[in-house]
């Protein structure tokens, strides 16, 4: 048979990704710089200690897991650095260095490598590490420090004051960040700057954040209409970890749906669950639990929203 006479089979066109994983992770680290700077300004050397300890735990977990799996140590993809920084930014300022190290180590080893490593983990490693710390050290994880102080002066977060009764800070304080809270969630301004950078560099998709914003605004608006004591919509957007979750958690390409429609649905459900937890749960904050809960439904959302291949019925 003369193979030269056979028609040439053309290979279908494929759209290549504009950026590889290390580039995307580096951009996330750059986008987190305003929040890192704000945390150091408000909480001084406490912030530095927690950030360095969380980074050390992430690197140690990455190295140990890679050695146990007999694979190259993937520190050059910057994913461990992103996990360490994100975990540090969702911890109280007074967190001991050993606890920050342990939580970051758990997030990398258990939430990431047990599932097969980067790209195969179901749950966000930083949030999983914080959930582990919340279960293991509940008192430590609900003890907050006043900004600009190095002593043991504690104070309630805005959401805790709203939930259990207390004086609420001004919107200006919520926007700038001079309030008690986790290291990186207090300054909405710093997080907005970082989120804008991610969108500008096109390394984050807008659909999941838009869905989370819409879900939160709708339910917060309904709660405010029913009872003004439930807090204003703007309060719920600026307080707690909403901004950090919207810009840096629901945009995680690994633990969120792949289809565009699925990303919006994922973010929408996160926003709704967030407000349900804030309103009726025993804890005042719900960003972590709402995202982790929806992480478990990502395979189902992927399947239900997967677009049909061109030419197939």
Instruction: State how far the Cα of 274 lies from the Cα of 285, in Å rounded to an integer.
Output: 8
Q: How confident is the model at residue 152 (pLDDT cuts 50, 70, 90)?
A: low
Q: How confident is the model at residue 118 (pLDDT cuts 50, 70, 90)?
A: confident
What is the Cα gyration radius of the chain? 21
| Domains (range + CATH), the chain | 22-305 (1.10.3430)
Determine whether 97 is exposed, middle or buried from the number of CB atoms within 10 Å of its CB (0-12, 13-18, 19+): middle
- Burial code (b: 16+ CB inside 10 Å, e: under 16) for 240-275 equals bbbbbbbbbbbbbebbbbebeebbbbbbbbbbbbbb
Instruction: State how far the Cα of 212 lies from the Cα of 235, in Å rounded to an integer.
Output: 15
User: What is the per-residue pLDDT for 16?
Assistant: 58
Is residue 2 pLDDT above 50, yes or no?
A: no
**pTM (2 decimals)?**
0.89
Q: How confident is the model at residue 146 (pLDDT cuts 50, 70, 90)?
A: confident
Asked if residues 34 and 194 have their Cβ atoms less than 8 Å apart, the reply is yes
Q: How confident is the model at residue 4 (pLDDT cuts 50, 70, 90)?
A: very low
In eight-state DSSP terms, residue 113 is I
User: What is the per-residue pLDDT for 133?
Assistant: 96
Asked if residues 36 and 51 have their Cβ atoms less than 8 Å apart, the reply is yes
Length reported for the chain: 313
Per residue in 43-85, pLDDT (tens digit) is: 999 999 999 999 999 999 999 998 888 888 878 889 999 999 9
């Amino acid at each position: 048979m003369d193979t030269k006479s056979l028609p040439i089979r053309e290979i279908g066109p494929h759209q290549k990704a504009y950026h590889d994983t290390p580039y995307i992770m580096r951009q996330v680290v750059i986008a987190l710089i305003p929040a890192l700077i704000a945390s150091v300004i408000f909480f001084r050397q406490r912030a530095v200690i927690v950030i360095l300890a969380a980074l050390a735990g992430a690197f140690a977990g990455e190295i140990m897991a890679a050695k146990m799996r007999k694979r190259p140590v993937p520190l050059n993809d910057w994913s461990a650095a992103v996990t360490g920084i994100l975990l540090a930014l969702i911890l109280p300022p007074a967190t001991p260095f050993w606890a920050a190290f342990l939580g970051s180590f758990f997030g990398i080893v258990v939430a990431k490598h047990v599932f097969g490593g980067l790209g195969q983990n179901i749950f966000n490693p930083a949030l999983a590490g914080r959930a582990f710390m919340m279960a293991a050290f509940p008192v430590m994880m609900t003890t907050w420090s006043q900004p600009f102080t190095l002593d043991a002066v504690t104070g309630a977060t805005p959401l805790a004051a709203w939930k259990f009764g207390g004086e609420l800070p001004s919107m200006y304080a919520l926007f700038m960040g001079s309030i008690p809270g986790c290291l990186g969630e207090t300054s909405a301004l710093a997080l907005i700057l970082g989120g804008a950078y991610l969108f500008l560099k096109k390394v984050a998709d807008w659909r999941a954040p838009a869905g989370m914003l819409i879900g939160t605004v709708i339910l917060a608006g309904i709660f405010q209409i029913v009872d003004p004591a439930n807090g204003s919509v703007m309060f719920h957007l600026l307080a707690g970890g909403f901004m950090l979750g919207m810009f840096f958690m629901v945009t995680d390409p690994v633990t969120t749906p792949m289809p565009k429609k699925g990303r919006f649905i994922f973010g929408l459900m996160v926003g709704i669950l967030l407000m349900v937890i804030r309103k009726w749960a025993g804890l005042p904050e719900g960003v972590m639990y709402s995202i982790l809960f929806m992480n478990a439904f990502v395979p189902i959302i992927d399947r239900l929203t997967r677009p049909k291949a061109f030419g197939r019925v």
